[in-house]
A = this chain, B = another copy of it.
């Protein structure tokens, strides 16, 4: 038996382990100090009552013979796929067939698993700094990767690949920089993909955080995108479902990949939890919408609070307006870990060193807007006292 030797090319991923180790070491030395965790990419606010009730009802159904149900279709219940089309796409003037929407248990899985629709010789382009999963999936498949640097000097807008890229991973609003692209900027990518027969895998996990008018919420708002783009969405950050597990992937027939994805899911996936699908459907009721928007409004307000607070102190910051992440330049020319250590030791504030997302992240750190606003206010106060 021969192992997949491409795994040997993976870099050990110690970012969050290293953060944890340093935090633990500090806490052991200073148990009296409360650490404020400002870098965690996970939701913290409870699910709204409308969603809890929908889940309780679904659970109760599974306990009664008359209402018990087993396997669903691998692609998900029609009522959820239709609700997604009716709520997320039709209002934007995007016309999708129910067979082009695939319910899954989260973007992490679909982003990884889409990789197998392509042969290993495809060249990949990935923005950098980046959520590591796109790169790792490409390395596991043995595909060569071109990284497209995003930094303050280019306004975090990546240049089109100079070499032909067959598979392009885009994420907007961006984790970790918080960048959004305009229609015109996204159209350059769609046009590039159309010219080159490329596929764009568009991670749209954070579109619920967009506040700026006119910023596209779906790649399919761009003319021609249905030929070249697969869009991956998740209820994790938009509705708080990180422990519920539900998302969906759109594979338009024009990409030529819809039938392959269906076959892949029918072979390697046995469907999404009934409870999770009922929870997702509940997000589209008026009460569900009110509830998730109440939570989103808190996270968005926290993002602005962090951004404005840092700017007031003289930090150079990006993001925060259209994403739950604030990308902050280290002061004094410090590298990412030096700024991390300063914040930990002097302020007992934890952030995420930007270099952990790629070389263009060096000299930046990421703050997340998911922490309680009281903790953010305290963190900013501690940072102010240390200036």
Q: Could you list which residues of chain A lie within 8 angstroms of chain B, going by C-beta atoms?
A: 1-5, 7, 10, 13, 42-49, 51-52, 55-56, 59-60, 62-65, 67-72, 105-109, 111-113, 116-119, 121-122, 132-133, 136-137, 140, 166-167, 197-199, 236, 240, 242-245, 256-257, 260, 263-264, 266-276
Contact = CB atoms under 8 A, between A and B. Distances in A.
Contact of A4 (B112, B119, B243): B119
Given A256-B3, A272-B245, A63 B43 contact: no
Contact of A47 (B4, B13, B68): B68
B43 A70 contact: yes
A52 B47 contact: no
A13 B74 CA distance: 14
A4 B267 contact: no
A91 B167 CA distance: 49
A47 B70 contact: no
Contact of A7 (B122, B244, B260): B260
A63 B47 contact: yes
A170 to B, nearest CB: 15
A62 B44 contact: no
A60 B71 contact: no
Contacts of A136: 263, 267
9 contacts: A3-B256, A46-B67, A46-B68, A56-B60, A108-B268, A108-B269, A133-B268, A243-B275, A245-B270
Contacts of A268: 108-109, 111-113, 133, 137
Among A136, A236, A243, A257, which residue has the most Cβ atoms of chain B within 10 A?
A243
Given A119-B3, A275-B244, A70 B42 contact: yes
A56 B108 CA distance: 26
Contacts of A69: 243
B140 A267 contact: yes
Number of copies of this protein chain within its complex: 2
Given A243-B71, A245-B271, A275-B55, A4 B260 contact: yes
A62 B46 contact: yes
A197 to B, nearest CB: 5
Contacts of A49: 63
A198 B275 CA distance: 39
Given A107-B270, A113-B113, 5 more contacts: A4-B116, A10-B263, A45-B65, A70-B240, A70-B242
Contact of A242 (B46, B71, B236): B71
A59 B64 CA distance: 18
A369 to B, nearest CB: 14
Contacts of A106: 270
Among all A-B residue pairs, the 6 with the closest Cβ atoms: A112-B268, A108-B270, A52-B63, A42-B70, A243-B274, A70-B242
Contact of A257 (B3, B10, B62, B71): B3
Contact of A3 (B2, B260, B270): B260
A52 B63 CA distance: 6
Contact of A2 (B1, B51, B116, B122): B122
Contacts of A4: 116-119, 260
Nearest to A43: B70
A1 B198 contact: yes
A110 B217 CA distance: 33
Contacts of A269: 108-109, 112
Nearest to A277: B243
